[in-house]
Structure 1
């Protein structure tokens, strides 16, 4: 659920996207995931300080968004559509 964050969320097989509604790269990444029927959890960092801090931590100190956490724990920061396509296994797609 948007805005809610737990450590358990990241340990599931669901992709987690840390982003904000105003962010064009976030909207593009989420649109790619939807187009490819990839389920994901959307976490809004604009209104959740704990989520914002977690996104920075996951991104190695960078403040760029989106931060996409993949099943298994891999992290993509500001991924392009090609980055998403390369990183997300076909069996993760709906």
Structure 2
């Protein structure tokens, strides 16, 4: 569970260190700017930006019932972040599964990607698609409902 928070915590720690050094040297404005910059980067890489993750089995069950795609992701993945941000509010209608918190989900992703944990992997109607275009995913979502 802690693995998900390593990058955001490191970003906050680095920001605090840089800001502290700048504040100590008298550049309070720059210190605040750097602290805000690093805090923003930490927020963008935190699991909080993504909808609540389900387990792989639960996501597959829900997808079979409602036809919505399942997105396998992991914190700190810039491609997952790009997908999440470009989907906007529609992202909440997908079933998100964090592969770092569910070993079964990681196994699903490895099986779909020749043994690699390449994310985002989007499963639509039982077919995996690795790092698909966000517009395509949005289209799949609209055709599912």
Scaled to the shorter chain, the TM-score interval is: 0.7 to 0.9
1:81 correspondence with 2:124:
no
Question: Greater helix share, 1 or 2?
Answer: 2
Please give the TM-score of this superposition, normalised by the length of structure 1. Answer: 0.72
Q: Cα RMSD over matched residues?
A: 2.5
Considering Cα pairs closer than 8 Å and 6+ residues apart, tell me whether 1 or 2 has the greater RCO. 1
Distance 1:92 1:24 in 2: 26
| Deviation beyond 6 Å, 4+ runs, structure 1 | none
Greater C-alpha radius of gyration? 2
Please give the TM-score of this superposition, normalised by the length of structure 2. Answer: 0.51
- Contact 1:10–1:69, Cα closer than 8 Å, also in 2: no
Gaps of 5+ in 1: none
- Contact 2:68–2:141, Cα closer than 8 Å, also in 1: no
Give the number of equivalent residue pairs: 90
Question: Greater strand share, 1 or 2?
Answer: 1
